[in-house]
Amino acid sequence: MVDDSTIDELADYRPVSPLAVATLVCGVAAALVLVTPLAAMLPLFAVVLAVAAFADLRRAEGKRAGRPLVLAGLALALGFAAQALAGAWYDGWIARQRAVAAATAWITAVREERFADAMAMCGPQAYPLPHEVTMGTEPPTPAVREEAFRATAAVRAIQACGQSQPAVTQVRRLGTSGSVWRVSGDLSACAAVSGELRVELEPRSETGPRGPLERWLVIGLGVER
């Protein structure tokens, strides 16, 4: 025999909206956005589900439950998205500072004619060797490499500045991967040359005596008039 309290509980029972459950699940899954950018659409999908769930609950006119689930899923999705954006901004800010520091160190080495140090910071694509050298059977000597390095427009422009330091005017990412940075410097303070110095850099991961380390490599040089 069913007592009156059981009857009241059955009368008060409201099924949970499937969309509300889906919103909560998607909100929890949005934590993946902190691990991989491939999950960037999960928070947005959770917001879309939340809008649909709220609409479903309104249409049910109180006959369905799940509003707390929708709110929890929405809060999780927005929270994870905000954390991921803040982390990406901070990583970008750190990378920007390191790119400027590496470009400045390279410019200083050229200004002080420490060409061996400056060349050590460059990748092979930064200053291409003459065609007749690359086509030869013998590997280029250090003197030939230094001659090719000193012949680049960027190195000549920095040396023409004398004691003047090109001022950094712009720093921005390049390419779809976002790992390459371009640091531009104003050459207007130089009496013998004008235009904008361009130094392109990319971080490389290496293993040192104390573990993994990051090394910034100059991969592109130029002067834009």
User: 61-79: b or e for each residue (b if 16 or more CB lie within 10 Å)?
Assistant: eeebebeebbbebbebbbe
**One-letter amino acid for residue 100 of the chain:** V
Q: What integer pLDDT is reported at residue 125 of this predicted model?
A: 86
pLDDT at site 63: 81
Look over the chain and give the mean of its residue pLDDT values, rounded to a whole number.
85
Start-end of H helices in 30-170:
41-60, 67-111, 115-120, 131-134, 142-150, 153-160
DSSP helix/strand/coil, 82? helix
pLDDT number for residue 163: 76
Do the Cβ atoms of 196 and 166 come closer than 8 Å?
no
- 100-151 pLDDT tens trace: 999 999 999 999 999 999 999 998 888 887 665 556 567 778 888 888 899 8
Query: Picking from 117-121, 205-209, 217-221, which range would have the lowest pLDDT averaged per residue?
Result: 205-209
- Tally the residues of the chain: 225
pTM above 0.85, yes or no: no
The crossing angle, in degrees rounded to 10, of helices 67-111 and 18-29 is 20
Q: Give the Å distances, CA to CA, from 162 to 15, 112, 113, 157, 159.
A: 79, 9, 11, 9, 6
Three-class SS state of 159: helix
Q: Are 214 and 186 in contact (CB under 8 A)?
A: no
Tens of pLDDT, residues 5-26:
554 444 466 788 999 999 999 9
Q: What is the pLDDT of residue 160?
A: 84
Is pLDDT above 90 for 208? no
pLDDT of residue 134: 57
